Amino acid sequence: MTSTSPTMSVSMSLPFLLLLLLTPLNLPLTTMMTAVESASDDPAPAAWPHQFHSVLFMNNSKGALQVVDLWYDWPNGRNFNIIQSQLGKLTYDLEWDNGTSYIYTLDSDRECNTMHFPVGILRPDWLDGANYLGQRRVDGFLCNVWEKVDFIWYYEDVLTKRPVHWVFYTGYNAHVMTFEVGAVLEDAKWDAPAHCFGEEKTDSAQSRRSPPLLLESVTSDYSHGRLIRDERSIRNLDSF
- At 10-42, the pLDDT tens digits run 444 555 544 545 555 454 544 444 444 455 689
CA distance 143 to 159: 8
Residue 224 lies in a domain: yes
Does 64 or 201 have the greater pLDDT score?
A: 64
Averaged pLDDT of the chain: 79
- Looking at residue 104, its pLDDT comes to 96
Residue 24 lies in a domain: no
Please check the confidence at residue 106 and state whether its pLDDT lies above 50. Answer: yes
Range of the domain at 130: 45-235
Q: What is the pLDDT of residues 32-68, one digit of tens each?
A: 444 444 556 899 999 999 999 999 999 987 778 999 9
Residue 165 lies in a domain: yes
Find all residues with CB under 8 Å of 102, minimum gap 6, and list them.
Answer: 92, 93, 94, 112, 113, 114, 115, 192, 196
Residue 28 lies in a domain: no
Residue 195 lies in a domain: yes
CA nearest 74: which of 54, 102, 57, 96? Answer: 96
Residue 154 lies in a domain: yes
Least confident interval from 110-119, 136-145, 175-184: 110-119
Residue 7 lies in a domain: no
If you count DSSP H runs as helices and E runs as strands, how many of each does the chain have, helices first?
4, 12
Average pLDDT over residues 70-74: 97
Per-residue pLDDT band for 213 (boundaries 50, 70, 90) equals: very low
Given phi > 0 = left and psi -120 to 50 = alpha, else beta, which region is 30? alpha
User: pTM for the whole thing?
Assistant: 0.74
Return the ∠ at Cα 161 (arms to 127 and 78), rounded to 5°. Answer: 50
Give the CATH number, domain containing residue 92: 2.50.20.30
Number of domains in the chain: 1
In this structure, the number of other CB atoms found within 10 A of the CB of residue 135 comes to: 12
CA nearest 84: which of 116, 53, 55, 113? Answer: 55
